Amino acid sequence: MTKVLIATDKPFAPAAVDSIRTVVEGAGYELVLLESYTDKADLLAAVADVDAMIIRSDKATREVIEAAKKLKVIVRAGAGYDNIDLEACTENGVVAMNTPGQNSNAVAELVFGMMVFLARKGFNGSAGVELRGKKIGIHAYGNVGRYVGEIAKGFGMEVYAFDPFVAKKTIEADGVKVLDSVEELYSTCNYVSLHIPANDKTKNSINFDLLNKMPKGGVLVNTARKEVIDEAGLIQLMDARKDFAYISDIAPDCKEEIEAKFQGRFFFTPKKMGAQTAEANINAGIAGANQIVNCIKNGDETYRVNK
Ligand code: 3PG
């Protein structure tokens, strides 16, 4: 019988697992579950006899792909697939997919949760600031960026974006002002919200020079990936500029070094929480399950991300 594994270090909401089960068993397949695993050996054992798998930020390394001898499809229930070794998938005849857009609203809502928490000084009782009238720059106008723009307008913020891969008129149609360079985005906006993927071009690209262009009181919000930040540059900037704040949904490698030092203008969520809502889990989980069934039954490779 065709076996589909859900392997999630950070588990889906139970309702999402139920929804995935309905799709998988409805197709006549068996669902197996590996949640909250702490040992890579457990993942390697679980993948040994499965035909398909759904993961989140779980690392699908070459070792994992090669241990999954029967694997045909791997779906990253989410947007960023930097955790999958795509080359290993291609070499082993495995289709790798993502589920773009399915968890985006959840991530966008967390951007504002973190911004309000910072603006209101962690609810410590002292006077904070408001978001209304402030300028927010959306760095990459994809599925999450679009929701961020929509919510920012509700807060009464001025919304700007930079994305060389999206047509200017598409962004402008949403009532968002387009800036022509990344430097202009950072020098214009009080808040910059990152939505770029982590790849060879973007890793370490958010550096001292770029961040230093932000106006006084600038805030960088990262719900994307820690790898895009040049952490040495970030520390240098936060040392030099006591007005600058960094809030992140992904703990930086330098967290120990900066947590106490930059208290009040740096925090991170305990575990990446952007996509951790029942709705996002259900949407991405069902999409992933349907993509697996359609791929195995009908050869449908929509959303394939490897060659
Ligand atoms: C994504 O790329 O979709 C997000 O980073 C969500 O990641 P998660 O599924 O690990 O929460």
Give the torsion through C-alpha atoms of 146, 149, 153, 156, to 10 deg: 170
Report the nearest-CA residue for atom 3 of ligand 1.
78
Same domain, 37 and 160: no
Q: Cα of 79 to ligand 1 centre, how many Å? A: 6
Q: Which amino acid is at 201?
A: K
- pLDDT digits 0-9 by tens, 113-150: 999 999 999 999 999 999 999 999 999 999 999 999 99
CATH number, residue 54:
3.40.50.720
With contact defined as beta carbons under 8 Å apart, do 119 and 129 qualify? yes
Same domain, 245 and 163: yes
- 115/152 Cα distance (integer angstroms): 11
> For position 199, what pLDDT does the model report?
97
Residues with pLDDT less than 50, the chain: none
Q: Residue 173: which residues within 8 A CB-CB, separation 6 or more? A: none
Q: Cα of 267 to ligand 1 centre, how many Å? A: 19
Does residue 159 fall inside a structural domain? Answer: yes
- Containing 239, the helix (H) or strand (E) segment is helix 231-240
- 34/46 Cα distance (integer angstroms): 7
Does residue 307 fall inside a structural domain? Answer: no
With contact defined as beta carbons under 8 Å apart, do 32 and 54 qualify? no
Residue 254: both structure tokens together: 């330098």
Report which of 55, 52, 56 is spatially closest to residue 68, judged by C-alpha positions: 52
Check if 57 has its Cβ closer than 6 Å to any atom of ligand 1.
Answer: yes
| Atom number, ligand 1, closest to the C-alpha of residue 276 | 11
Whether complex ipTM tops 0.90: yes
Same domain, 93 and 134: no
Same domain, 116 and 221: yes
Q: Cα of 78 to ligand 1 centre, how many Å? A: 5
Q: Cα of 56 to ligand 1 centre, how many Å? A: 6
Residue 82: both structure tokens together: 């930097």
Check if 7 has its Cβ closer than 6 Å to any atom of ligand 1.
Answer: no
> For position 135, what pLDDT does the model report?
98
Does residue 69 fall inside a structural domain? Answer: yes
Same domain, 247 and 293: no
User: To test the ligand 1 pocket, which listed residue (57, 196, 223) has its Cβ within 8 A of the most ligand atoms?
Assistant: 57
Same domain, 92 and 112: no
Q: Is 273 helix (H, G, I), strand (E, B) or coil?
A: coil
Q: How far are the Cα atoms of 5, 21, 48, 164, 295 from residue 51, in angstroms, in the given order?
A: 8, 15, 9, 38, 11
> For position 224, what pLDDT does the model report?
98
User: To test the ligand 1 pocket, which listed residue (20, 54, 56, 279) has its Cβ within 8 A of the most ligand atoms?
Assistant: 56
Does residue 110 fall inside a structural domain? Answer: yes
Q: How far are the Cα atoms of 152, 161, 212 from residue 221, in angstroms, in the given order?
A: 13, 14, 15
| Atom number, ligand 1, closest to the C-alpha of residue 77 | 9
> For position 151, what pLDDT does the model report?
98
Same domain, 11 and 97: yes
Number of domains within the chain: 2
Give the torsion through C-alpha atoms of 289, 293, 64, 58, to 10 deg: -10
Q: Residue 160: which residues within 8 A CB-CB, separation 6 or more? A: 135, 136, 137, 138, 176, 177, 178, 179, 185, 188, 189
Phi first, then psi, for residue 64 (nearest 5°) are -70, -50
> For position 207, what pLDDT does the model report?
98
Does residue 15 fall inside a structural domain? Answer: yes
Q: Is 201 helix (H, G, I), strand (E, B) or coil?
A: coil
Does residue 258 fall inside a structural domain? Answer: yes
Helices in 48-103 by DSSP H: which ranges? 62-67, 86-91
Same domain, 68 and 189: no
- 299/303 Cα distance (integer angstroms): 12
User: To test the ligand 1 pocket, which listed residue (103, 105, 276) has its Cβ within 8 A of the most ligand atoms?
Assistant: 103
Does residue 305 fall inside a structural domain? Answer: no
Same domain, 96 and 168: no
Same domain, 182 and 254: yes
| Atom number, ligand 1, closest to the C-alpha of residue 275 | 11
Same domain, 226 and 193: yes
Range of the domain at 47: 3-102+276-298
Report the nearest-CA residue for atom 10 of ligand 1.
57
Report the nearest-CA residue for atom 6 of ligand 1.
275
> For position 252, what pLDDT does the model report?
96
Does residue 48 fall inside a structural domain? Answer: yes
